[in-house]
Amino acid sequence: MNLTRDKLPLSRSQIALRVVGTVLLTASALMVVLGSTVLANRLQGPRFLLYWTPCMLLTIAAIIVTLADMLLVRRASKRTRRELFRQQFMSPDLAEKLRKRRGQ
């Protein structure tokens, strides 16, 4: 994992989700452009539904992948924020007192 100064590291699952999301969005955008321009005259009747249904499903899949990626980013951000708090504000004495209190 690469850790730069201003960015959180990306996990393998986040990288995979972003690649899949990019592919899905590219495919649906290409279908929209082709369906609106080049194939507009040929998409009549049942062909219209057979063409635009997969485009809609690709877009919905891209939204689902994006939501999953957002959840992973939130989880990583929360973990990093907690770790930074512990590093900055939790002296060894305070951490020991809190552990003793929880044990009671």
In the predicted structure, residue 104 carries a pLDDT above the cut 70: no
Residue 72 CA to residue 74 CA, distance in Å, equals: 5
| C-alpha pair distances (Å), 11 with each of 4, 16, 36, 73, 90 | 14, 9, 37, 10, 27
The percentage of residues in the chain with a pLDDT greater than 90, rounded to a whole number, is: 62
Mean pLDDT computed over every residue of the chain: 88
pTM over 0.85: no
Between 41 and 90, name the one with better pLDDT.
Answer: 41
Domain spans of the chain? Answer: 12-79
Q: What is the mean pLDDT of residues 1-16?
A: 73
